Homo-oligomer: A and B are copies of this chain.
Amino acid sequence: MTSILEQEIKEQPEVIRRLIEYSADQAKAIMDALRGKFNYILIAARGSSDNAARYAQYLFQIINEVPVALATPSVFSLYHKAPKLEGALVIGISQSGQSPDIVSVLEEARRQGRPSIAITNDPSSPLAQAAQFTLDLQAGQEKAVAATKTYTASLLAIALLSNALAEDKAAFGEIQHLPAQIEQAIEQSMQQISRMERYCYMQHGAVIGRGFNYSTAFEVALKIKELTGITTVPYSSADFLHGPVASLTRGYPVFGIAPSGIMAEDMSAIIDKANAMQAELVVISDLEELLAQAQLPLPIPPGVPEWLSPLVAVIPGQILAWQIALSRGLDPDKPKGLSKITETL
């Protein structure tokens, strides 16, 4: 029987195609209205949406040279403090748009007269109501508890906003290749699912990525945790060397997120180090020389620019987490102890 999670994973090329077609103009209108009105961006999000915020942190800084702060929502919602938001553009990301702590940050932006954008799958949600502008993910209802299509849609919404701010038409052409690239990544990972049973008895692991794909490391670690209950920890390759590298022993599972780009060299060094310690390696990459070093290579299509690679590199991680859940006899649609909408203060 096909799970809802499987259906939603496989809907992603279509969700991305639809969002490019219907929301690029909207992203442009929002950024045309806001250009020159902020000198940094403050983003409020939790869970998978917070991982999308990590992507935004690199994207806006590298492409647009705008500093990005990730909000600590409890400052607003529990300590009842209102940092002075002069100079800030405030963005809230939440598929449901329901979590009161995220909404409270956008409400404070409104109170202080600061511009704000909601990125959400529900344009009638409290988050959308609190925001000056809303970018609707149009992903269709997400029924599986673990977010997949709303995660990649959130990444794309951020990429569209960044691209609109940069007014870079050549880069927009790169965005248009994404639906086909995501489709190919799904096909490539589906060819590897029989090998994924290998991780049925895995007890813990480290997921390592850096730069644009720091977000992917967090999201893959979260998918594995949510769907299987296995303790997996995300790291940047730099932070990993500042301490956690001490965990590496023979057979310790390391998941390297290593697409082409500036960070490939850094990830290659981590992969060498893990191999020297006889760690177990799963590598998500389009680079043959890195894939060749893995016990389980998870290829993604070549030709994806690094700034868009998080939308493609997360796919094998979603499929791996789903398959490990199946191998452990778990229901991928209803992970133990979780509900679809998490309301935190």
Contact = CB atoms under 8 A, between A and B. Distances in A.
Interface of A: 39-40, 42, 46-48, 50, 57-58, 61-62, 65-70, 72-75, 78-79, 81-88, 101, 146, 203-206, 210-211, 214, 222, 225-227, 229-231, 233, 236, 238-239, 241-249, 262-263, 266, 277, 335-338, 342, 344-345
A88 B67 contact: yes
Contact of A40 (B73, B87, B242, B247): B87
B58 A83 contact: no
A231 B243 CA distance: 11
Contact of A87 (B58, B87, B238, B248): B87
15 contacts: A39-B86, A57-B72, A61-B81, A62-B79, A65-B82, A65-B83, A74-B238, A79-B211, A222-B243, A227-B246, A229-B247, A230-B247, A231-B231, A248-B337, A277-B337
A87 B41 CA distance: 12
Contact of A75 (B61, B146, B277, B342): B61
Contact of A246 (B58, B62, B226, B242): B226
Given A40-B69, A67-B69, A206-B231, 18 more contacts: A39-B84, A40-B87, A46-B242, A58-B79, A61-B81, A61-B83, A66-B84, A67-B84, A79-B211, A79-B262, A86-B87, A226-B244, A230-B247, A238-B344, A245-B338, A246-B336, A246-B338, A248-B337
A79 to B, nearest CB: 5
B247 A231 contact: yes
Contacts of A47: 239, 242-243
A211 B77 CA distance: 11
B66 A69 contact: no
B344 A241 contact: yes
A67 B83 contact: yes
A231 B248 contact: no
How many copies altogether? 2
Nearest to A69: B69
Contacts of A203: 203-204
A295 B86 CA distance: 47
Given A239-B47, A246-B337, A262 B78 contact: yes
Nearest to A80: B262
A82 B125 CA distance: 36
Contacts of A243: 47-48, 146, 222, 225-226, 338
Contacts of A65: 81-84
Contacts of A61: 72, 75, 81, 83
A75 B57 CA distance: 10
Contacts of A42: 67, 69
Contacts of A239: 46-47, 50
A318 to B, nearest CB: 14
A236 B71 CA distance: 13
B86 A62 contact: no
Contacts of A229: 246-247, 249
A75 B88 contact: no
